[in-house]
Structure 1
């Protein structure tokens, strides 16, 4: 097996090889480190790295696998890259900001704690824009992250480093957080899997765990790996008041979906969609039809007011207010886009603008809820443009999608609508590539709390298309 083949193994494949003693966790981690030293300078998806201590943990995992009858965790010895916005005990978390360059956390966030307890080995942190504010992954502390499929383009954000690292074969597993699509946007733009669970399904750390629009979840190169991570992560946690008591186990293997009822919309009724995204989505729907699913186009009756009201939440809650708080003492350390965000957020009316997204969410669910009651899942694009340029300005008022003027931050993504509908599980799954070679993707949206059905649809699709990254011709040219 070549070094590249090792680096593109799924966690499921790696675990099977570990158990058969045909691969060592040390060998896998060494391969990833070596590839990272060669590839990462052009992609710039890693923040801090912990190679020395990670190799020591890999050697300990190797010893467990070599010992006959020894118990091993569900992710024992599997390399994991953690977004630089999730706490890792004893390590700094910068949130992509110079303000926090020396901030060391005393304990890990619950999701990270569970992944480590299952044996995952954290060897690197992945880049994020300042405060996770943007779909463009660049910051003053870490610089500009690029899309492995075409380095002129961005990897999406805010979990852009995680998406890029997976696509480039620089990690086996990665984590992300998602307040407006920050797992699914980069998953879509980089051609990997990203799962946004219902709020509270995966325990989180403060203050994000109290934000109803916020979610933490897995990012992987296969649906099976996402299921593997999800089954480790989910369930109530004593340090997260918002974590839900019910724990769900999602399927790890594909099953028949004949008769599954799938509703879809290409544009949600109001969004401009690039031709490559539209074409690849319709092709993906044909795959579901070939599997025996009943696929029906629907009209949700949503309008652009969805986006307008969604923005009130970002401006008014912690996600937006933190820019105002930090500006008072640290403006000289902040990025231009964070300062502009603070300026916009400071103009919002606290009482009125907090209420607007709640009212809009209720109105949206009056159509989506009955539709999902009559169908198993709903499908739409993840991003309505494959991506934006790596150095895209999220405040560029001349920005267009499909030839039409669009909001430069939210106008190219179709994810934040389902953060407002925070109890719906959503997975981003690749659908193909645009002419630029940048991937396109679809969102599979489930009924509230029905994670398993989303995974069932995604696993069937993955099996039908033969998976991703399974050969050199399915990987970026790096």
Structure 2
């Protein structure tokens, strides 16, 4: 069983194809791991083993008949509770959403996974409506970090991020409107990709508009690339999605590190010109930059040259929250996360010219980064300036600001620009908490981002290291 919960999606598919084991065996093992570990971290807010096993049995039948379906047949996937699923309600951590009203509908990512034979494991915890960079909500409580349960998993895809390192699913779906895939990936030590805006269809539209991206979270870059081959399938319901380009992302990452990095010009910036990272974070990411250079990439230490766009991001992001709550009455608001209500109420006071000024700043930032990438293929930064802090808080203790974007300065600029950005683990702090590096590429060049991430992970794999909770529970399972 411990072998199954350690396996990547790629490894599972090889086992299914050779009939060394079946999707039912794997799903049973993962459900047992969820039963053992979930209470410690609150990764899943809904688990329905009967439904998961029904999907697994159908997959097993297809393999036995020699006709597997699509690219992920039998691979279990954790689904963030903002994605519509036909069989399970989607309440986004909110008491004001009628669960019954969400049934029978399916988000594009989920529809693509179903067409490719996935096994749904359950719904993962999110802050209410995915509004912040940590994960807790009025229904499900706090989601905790698998490496240290006193710490936050990050957010808003914190449930998905907490599940993967503990072997509670090899693949997970996340969304990212200000860092919500990359923040928890960085804090929890897994891989998370925010694709180029429009590359992965997303419906219904996010409250946060064109800041929001849907994407994959996984233990390895290879699994992330494989999942992208599925998630990029076209869906007419997203009117802002680009036409499918049929890029084989998994094929794009094949090769040795030097081959994958050949000819790449990487700009490394520890600060973006306005951030002061923790020294341990700085050291780990600087070492990663040096490793990429030693493997043949041309690495230059240079900042992209823009001022912190925090105010513009806040106007657009919280303006989206205000719009989402515009028809929500006082009685319903009393049932909600009161900090979400507060930021929405504040943003509702913005003038049209305030909002348009933020749009103008966003446009200028997009142009600056487009010009920057005429010279540099990639921008390398820390994913976050800090490691995970105490769970149940929006910001670290004694932090100078009360709002989460103040400690995510490396992530939200690239929601404004719509560029692809990948978080990859690059080390651990002295107290055992994960550190992540971020690779940002030119818009619609997701393949180069994944290639560089794969090269780094092949050269400096941290994939054998799992949280203590994983090891203890796996051993207990074997003894049982």
Pairwise TM-score range, normalised by the shorter structure: over 0.9
**Quick check: 1:50–1:122 contact (8 Å CA) kept in 2?**
no
**CA–CA distance in 2 between the matches of 1:288 and 1:282?**
10
Report matched runs for 1:338-349 at 5 Å. 338-349=340-351
**CA–CA distance in 2 between the matches of 1:254 and 1:181?**
29
Q: What is the aligned counterpart of 2:442 among 442, 447, 469?
A: 447
Q: What is the aligned counterpart of 1:311 among 305, 309, 314?
A: 314
Report matched runs for 1:225-236 at 5 Å. 225-236=223-234
What is residue 106 of structure 2 aligned with on the other side? 108
Q: What is the aligned counterpart of 1:281 among 280, 285, 305?
A: 285
**CA–CA distance in 1 between the matches of 2:202 and 2:414?**
19
**CA–CA distance in 1 between the matches of 2:471 and 2:329?**
39
What is residue 72 of structure 1 aligned with on the other side? 69
**Quick check: 1:188–1:430 contact (8 Å CA) kept in 2?**
yes
What is residue 202 of structure 2 aligned with on the other side? 204
Distance 1:265 1:474, change over 3 A: farther
Shift of 1:325: 3.3
Give me the TM-score of the superposition, normalised by structure 2: 0.92
Distance 1:321 1:170, change over 3 A: same
Distance 1:430 1:163, change over 3 A: same
**CA–CA distance in 1 between the matches of 2:253 and 2:263?**
21
Instruction: Indicate yes or no: 2:85 matched with 1:84.
Output: no
**CA–CA distance in 2 between the matches of 1:11 and 1:372?**
32
What is residue 429 of structure 1 aligned with on the other side? 424
* Structure 2: gaps spanning 5 or more residues: 474-480
**CA–CA distance in 2 between the matches of 1:122 and 1:343?**
37
Shift of 1:181: 0.9
Instruction: Indicate yes or no: 2:420 matched with 1:419.
Output: no
Give me the TM-score of the superposition, normalised by structure 1: 0.92
**CA–CA distance in 1 between the matches of 2:37 and 2:235?**
38
What is residue 36 of structure 2 aligned with on the other side? 38
**Quick check: 1:228–1:252 contact (8 Å CA) kept in 2?**
no
* Structure 1: gaps spanning 5 or more residues: none
**CA–CA distance in 2 between the matches of 1:171 and 1:79?**
6
Shift of 1:75: 0.4
What is residue 334 of structure 1 aligned with on the other side? 336
Distance 1:241 1:440, change over 3 A: same
**CA–CA distance in 2 between the matches of 1:353 and 1:109?**
33
Instruction: Give secondary structure in 2 for the equivalent of 1:373.
Output: coil
Q: For structure 1, which segment, 322-331 or 219-228, has the greater mean C-alpha deviation from structure 2 after superposition?
A: 322-331
Instruction: Give secondary structure in 2 for the equivalent of 1:72.
Output: coil
**Quick check: 1:235–1:244 contact (8 Å CA) kept in 2?**
no
Instruction: Indicate yes or no: 2:12 matched with 1:14.
Output: yes
Shift of 1:101: 5.3
Root-mean-square deviation over aligned CA pairs = 2.1
Shift of 1:329: 4.0
**CA–CA distance in 1 between the matches of 2:131 and 2:113?**
25
Distance 1:198 1:117, change over 3 A: same
- Cα deviation per residue 1:191-218 (whole Å; 9 max; x = unaligned)? 1111111111111112229921111011
Shift of 1:320: 3.5
Instruction: Indicate yes or no: 2:376 matched with 1:386.
Output: no
**Quick check: 1:323–1:338 contact (8 Å CA) kept in 2?**
no
**CA–CA distance in 2 between the matches of 1:315 and 1:54?**
36
Instruction: Give secondary structure in 2 for the equivalent of 1:236.
Output: coil
Report matched runs for 1:143-182 at 5 Å. 143-182=141-180
Instruction: Indicate yes or no: 2:271 matched with 1:267.
Output: yes
Shift of 1:474: 12
Distance 1:206 1:353, change over 3 A: farther
Shift of 1:164: 0.3
Instruction: Indicate yes or no: 2:458 matched with 1:463.
Output: yes
**Quick check: 2:427–2:462 contact (8 Å CA) kept in 1?**
no
Instruction: Give secondary structure in 1 for the equivalent of 2:185.
Output: helix
What is residue 477 of structure 2 aligned with on the other side? none
**CA–CA distance in 1 between the matches of 2:120 and 2:32?**
16
**CA–CA distance in 2 between the matches of 1:108 and 1:170?**
23
Equivalenced residue count is: 465
